[in-house]
Amino acid sequence: MRIVKSSEISDVVERLCAEANYELPEDVLKALKSGAKKEKGVSKNIIGEIIKNASIAAKEKIPLCQDTGTANFFIKLGKDARITGGNIYDAVNKGVSSGYVKNYLRKSIVSDPLERKNTKDNTPANIYLDIVDGDGVEITFMPKGGGSENAGALKMLEPSAGWEGVKKFVLEAVNAKGRNACPPLVIGVGIGGDFASVGCLAKRSLLRKIGSKNKSRLYAQKEAELLGEINKLKIGPMGMGGHTTALAVFIETKPCHIASLPAAVNIQCHSCRRKTARI
């Protein structure tokens, strides 16, 4: 049994809150640079400005975007690790509070969806916890902006809809709201599970690195097919037209009921922020 202090978790979370909001991952930058080569005119200039913005943010230690998002944490907790000094949920929220307050990151969370009173420290975070083998703690932080999150969609399809039904749903969702989500986009797609879990599948898929392939040959082909179809929409960078509407499409699946075919789309903007730390 390995002892992990809750204060260690809070300190790591505080650091991740700043670093993820300041530094665009290398795979995203690489994909943006690749996209710029396919564009011309205004669309090419827009991607150029996005890349320049990322460089300034990293150098000056300022947020890539003014919307520093809902704090999403995906945690793998080793079954042989014991948290002392408090529980992991409180430890994460303590780290979020200090990370957002100390680093002057925008606080965007309200305590009630109708009363709309700001919590003033961006808590509570969304925490997705998986128990795994080992004695380590792996923490992945993904700040998710409101504009891209609002572009998401979920639909309970009939099984007879099949892949063509899923594809139609995804394309309609991107075409309807993709312009509002600050493209070039990263598209997360969940297929299967149930109403409660399919949205989480779509969101988890956004943790994958751009350029990675689905482990399933079938779904790797479906990802490539969807990416091609989405880019044919010609929404382009920041909705101004062009070839690069999306940088990647990621699909995650889960077994489901014989009477159901749940599908969800979770859209990420060009500021595709995520960072992992291990304790």
Ramachandran angles phi, psi of 30, nearest 5°: -60, -45
Domain at 2-20+64-144, CATH from 1.10.760, 3.40.720, 3.30.360, 1.10.10: 3.30.360
User: Residues 219-253: pLDDT tens digits?
Assistant: 999 999 999 999 999 999 999 999 999 999 999 99
Q: What is the pLDDT of residue 42?
A: 96
The DSSP 8-state label assigned to residue 120 in this structure reads: S
Give the up-direction half-sphere exposure of residue 128: CA atoms within 13 A in the CB hemisphere: 14
Specify the amino acid at residue 231: N
What tokens were used for 161?
Answer: 């809809």
pLDDT at residue 40, as a whole number: 95
**What is the model's pLDDT at position 76?**
98
- What pLDDT sits at residue 249? 98
Mean of the pLDDT values across residues 84-106? 98
CB 142 within 8 A of CB 274: yes
Per-residue confidence (pLDDT) for residue 204, from 0 to 100: 98
Predicted confidence at residue 203, as pLDDT, reads 98
Identify the CA nearest to 43 among candidates 252, 245, 201, 178.
245
Torsion of CA 26, 29, 30, 32, to 10 degrees: 160
pLDDT at 134: 97
| pLDDT digits 0-9 by tens, 25-43 | 999 999 999 999 999 999 9
Spatial neighbors of 68 by CB under 8 A, at least 6 apart, are 21, 100, 105, 106, 108, 122, 143, 145
Q: Which pTM value belongs to this model?
A: 0.96
For the chain, give every domain's residue range: 2-20+64-144, 147-273
Residue 5 pairs in a beta bridge with 84
CB 89 within 8 A of CB 50: no
Please count the CA atoms within 13 angstroms of the CA of 148 that sit on its side-chain side: 28
Q: pLDDT tens digits, residue range 55-78?
A: 999 999 999 999 999 999 999 999
**Per-residue DSSP letters for 201-268?**
HHHHHTTSPTT---SSHHHHHHHHHHHHHHHTT---GGGS-SS-SEEEEEEEEEEE-TT-EEEEEEEE
Query: Average pLDDT in the 209-217 region?
Result: 97
Which percentage of the chain shows pLDDT scores above 90?
100
Q: And the tokens for 76?
A: 């793998």
Antiparallel, parallel or unpaired: β 81-84 and 261-268: unpaired
Kindly indicate the confidence band of residue 120, based on its pLDDT and cuts at 50, 70 and 90.
very high
pLDDT bucket at 13, cuts 50 / 70 / 90: very high
Average of pLDDT values for 175-203? 98
Question: What is the average pLDDT score of the chain?
Answer: 98
Give percent above pLDDT 70 in the chain: 100
pLDDT, residue 233, reads: 97
